[in-house]
Amino acid sequence: MIRLEKRTSASSLHFRLLIIFILFFSLSSFPLSDQRGRTVERGTLSVYFMGEKVGYEEYVWEETGQGYLLSVQGRMTKPVAIEVERMRIEMNRSFIPLRYFFRGSMGGVQQEISSVISEGSVVNTFLVDGQEQSQQSQIKRDAFLLPNPLYSPYLVIAKKYGCTMEEKRNLSAYFIPQLETPFTLEPSEEDPCLLLLQINGIQMELETNEYGQLKILQIPAQNLKVTNDIFSFN
């Protein structure tokens, strides 16, 4: 009887260990993005000026529980020399910006900019050549952050509107940290996935897909074209 109980106990233990192993194997087989509860998109924007490739921006777009995060690094030689060591834009679920960070150089000048945005109130902190200063601005709550001359932030416009826009809209862009300016956005009559953006008298074309991913950005008046090579999406 005692031996039977020992066998039963050992059998029960083996069964429990088997169940634990199966559960562990099943959970570990899920993608990392599912475990963290977010979608991750990775890609590279190639920048062309007058037909010549002059730079790139490697980006990671993450959907988190609180909102979205766009992270970028890259470099460009024309029309402005820029080195992007790190750029981040944090947004809520409505694509409203909450924080911005940039570290790199423009025109050979090393700089760092960090911004905190709350209900349209912006506090910018600059670090240039070891000197720190702050600036406060007031912008529209839903203004898009478009740090000049980066192109990856236009991904946010594509994500928000994609192929779903039905009529022309009046929007606002904050060329952080300099100024805020209005712009219009409307779908092309021929293609709802082609968004026409008018800002300061300049027209831009944003070609998207049904997933809200930016495929091509063009600024004909400036001989600029940006293409997106998406190499990971889960």
Confidence of residue 187 (pLDDT cuts 50, 70, 90): very high
> Is 152 found in the same domain as 181?
yes
Note whether 11 and 37 are same-domain residues: no
Q: How many domains does the chain have?
A: 2
Are 97 and 145 found together in one domain? yes
Residues 38, 22, single domain; the answer is no
Whether residues 189 and 144 fall in one domain: yes
Query: Are residues 109 and 14 part of one domain?
Result: no
Is residue 108 domain-shared with residue 221, that is, in the same domain? yes
Residue type at position 230? I
- Predicted TM-score (pTM) of this structure: 0.82
Same domain? 38 vs 17: no
Q: What is the 3-state secondary structure (H, E, C) of 64-84?
A: CCCEEEEEEEEEECCCCCEEE
Residue 104 has pLDDT above 90, yes or no: yes
Same domain, 25 and 97: no
Is residue 22's pLDDT more than 50?
Answer: no
Same domain, 94 and 20: no
- pLDDT at residue number 38: 65
Residues 120-178 have pLDDT tens digits of 999 999 998 778 999 999 999 999 999 989 999 999 999 999 999 999 999 999 999 88
3-state secondary structure of 161: helix
Considering the domain architecture, whether residues 160 and 194 belong to the same structural domain is answered as yes
Q: Where are the beta strands (DSSP E) in 107-199?
A: 109-118, 121-128, 131-138, 144-145, 169-175, 179-187, 194-199
Higher-pLDDT residue of 109 and 20 is 109
Residues 6+ apart with CB under 8 A from 58: 42, 43, 44, 45, 72, 73, 74
For 55-103, how does the pLDDT look when each residue is reduced to its tens digit (9 = 90+)?
999 999 999 888 999 999 999 999 889 999 999 999 999 999 999 999 9
Expressed as residue numbers, the domain containing 6 is: 1-30
147 and 203, same domain (yes or no): yes
Do 57 and 84 form a contact (C-beta atoms < 8 A)?
yes
